[in-house]
Structure 1
Amino acid sequence: MRHPLLHTGALSLALLLFGCAVPSDRPEPDPVLTPDEFATRIDRLETEMVSRCDAQHELLATHVQRQELMDTDMREFGSLLRHLRADIERLERGDDGEPVVVSRECAADELGLANKAVVGRSEWIGLPDAGTYLKARIDSGANTSSLSATDITRFERDGEDWVRFKLGLGENDVAVEGVRDDWIEAPIERRVRVLQAAGETSRPVVSLLMTLGPIRETVEFTLNDRSHLNYPVLLGRRFLMDITVIDVAESYIHERPEFPGGRPAEEAEQDEAGDQDDEEA
């Protein structure tokens, strides 16, 4: 049997012989530099620092140059602004020193007027259902349009309320002569109440096809006798809204429509000569 001390001694000898293969947690020491290697490394570091400083100086010089250019531009901009203000003040004063009001012209598209027809304070309209032209007064103060009518008679047709009437025209009202006494029939759309000095009255409202220049629309008319007024037709906001613009300085912008039995459109100017601008409500 092998002696225990002999076994322990052999193990210790093996550890001494192979101890260099056992890993160690201690860091390896930095290699020792020779004086030449140290000087070389210092030179390299110095060169890198000088290069970095040169780059920083160049970047700083670039920033300074840009700042100087910006300062120059700002001075020029300030000078231009002062001159512009002086020109504006001179234009506002005018040559005689008085202020000048400059109005801005708006494009039609800006105001939403591009697709609207321009109408004057009075226009010729056509009533194809009645076969005549009539003079119309444009009145944006009135809500519903009005047509002069007489002999207004209510009747029933197919269970609905209808009305028949004749055009209420005075001797001076211009129309196709052959239709002055013709009956016109139309369904009653609704009735409106009107307050007058004599009391409250109810008027029927009918829809009739109407033309005015390029406009061809079905228009609601309140029926009442306007023969004592200057115009047998009054066009109110319900018709004017969204499709027309009123030029109060003009009248009869659009040509008078022509109907069988009526006079040609070129003779309309003679019938417009005696118009009166004043119109009762």
Structure 2
Amino acid sequence: MRHRLLQSGALSLVLLLAGCAIQGQGPDPQPVLTPDEFAMRIDRLEAGMASRCDAQQQLLDQQLHRQALLDTEVREVGSLLRHLRADIERLERAGGEPVVITRECVADELGLANKAVVGRSEWVGLPDVGTYLKARVDSGANTSSLSATDITRFERDGEDWVRFKLGLGEDDVAVEGVADEWIEAPVERRVRILQAAGEHSRPVVSLLMTLGPIREPVEFTLNDRTHLNYPVLLGRRFLMDIAVIDVAESYLHERPEFPGGRPAEEAELDEAGDRDDDEA
């Protein structure tokens, strides 16, 4: 009996010691952050979230720009489809026989009767500048463009203005002396240009322009076009609601006259080289 009591007591002692050993092997407590360390971690998290937000915003801006371009193209395609559908319906009503439609009727149906017809190249006048210039008419461009150099931004009465000179090459035709004169105009807005070399913006100014019977203020993007054949490009914003292009013609309207310039009847001499380039 005594022997059994000793064995039982020894067993209880072993179990007690084992339990204490197990309790002492728990995980080490995690160190507590100091207020400075906590603030540093929060700052790092905020900086990371701000960087991600900026990247997302840039991606969103790019997608919105692409969407705007696609919307414009869809509207143009839709207009062409409507005109094509109308032609098909007229053919069906005529039993498939060719339908002779006068030019005047087509103009009335398409809303072109009151619009001026311009060729692929035209003379334009800038009364505020005092010169005529050659212009290429291009419906593929959105905004019109004027060749300019020495573009300098300044402020007048709290508004953004620009000072510039006409960017003319050796072969460009203009009133003598105008190329060296400074032109000042308020900035209407700026357009963002995406190119392989990077992104930049160009100022847009509004100048009074004449072309045949048209006399309208036109918004021009200012950029150096001296490496191109025409110092002026007329885009869709100019054509909208006032003119249509006849791509088979050029210089349909007489060159305007300005003090110091050559008479309009001498314009054909300056147009000959352009017609040769088109035919080539």
CA displacement 1:138-164 (0-9 Å, x = unmatched):
000100000000000000000000000
Report Cα offsets for 1:110-153 as digits up to 9, x if no partner: 22111100000010000011100000000001000000000000
Could you say which residue in structure 1 is the equivalent of 2:273?
Answer: 274
Higher helix share: 2
Q: Which residue of 1 aligns with 2:79?
A: none
Q: Distance in 2 between matches of 1:197 and 1:150?
A: 22
SS in 2 for 1:272: helix
d(CA) in 1 for partners of 2:278, 2:224: 19
User: Percent identical across equivalent pairs?
Assistant: 86
Residue type matched to 2:264 in 1?
A
Q: Which residue of 2 aligns with 1:142?
A: 141
Report the Cα offset of residue 190 of structure 1.
Answer: 0.4
Cα deviation, residue 207, structure 1: 0.2
SS where residue 267 of structure 1 aligns?
Answer: helix
1:244-275 C-alpha deviation (Å, 9 max, x unpaired)? 01100000000000000000000000000111
Deviations 1:18-62 (A, max 9, x none): xxxxxxxxxxxxxxxxxxxxxxxxxxxxxxxxxxxxxxxxxxxxx
Q: Which residue of 2 aligns with 1:115?
A: 114
Match in the other structure for 1:104? 101
Mapping of 1:44-193 within 5 angstroms?
Answer: 101-105=98-102, 107=105, 108-193=107-192
Q: Secondary structure at the match of 2:188?
A: strand
Superposed displacement of residue 105, structure 1: 3.2
Q: CA RMSD in A?
A: 1.7
Counterpart position of 2:251: 252
Alignment-mate amino acid for residue 159 of structure 1 = G
Distance in 2, matches of 1:227 and 1:238, equals: 23
TM-score (norm 1): 0.62
Cα distance in 2 for residues equivalent to 1:137 and 1:277: 12
CA distance, structure 1, for counterparts of residue 112 and residue 187 of structure 2: 33
Q: What residue is the counterpart of 1:211 in the other structure?
A: 210
Partner Cα separation in structure 1 for residue 198 and residue 228 of structure 2 = 20
Q: Secondary structure at the match of 2:255?
A: coil
Counterpart in the other structure of 2:88: none
Amino acid at match of 2:199: E
Q: How many residues align?
A: 182
The higher radius of gyration belongs to: 1
Question: Does the residue aligned with 2:204 lie in a helix, a strand or coil?
Answer: strand
1:240 aligned residue: 239
The CA deviation at 1:238 is: 0.4
Amino acid at match of 1:266: E
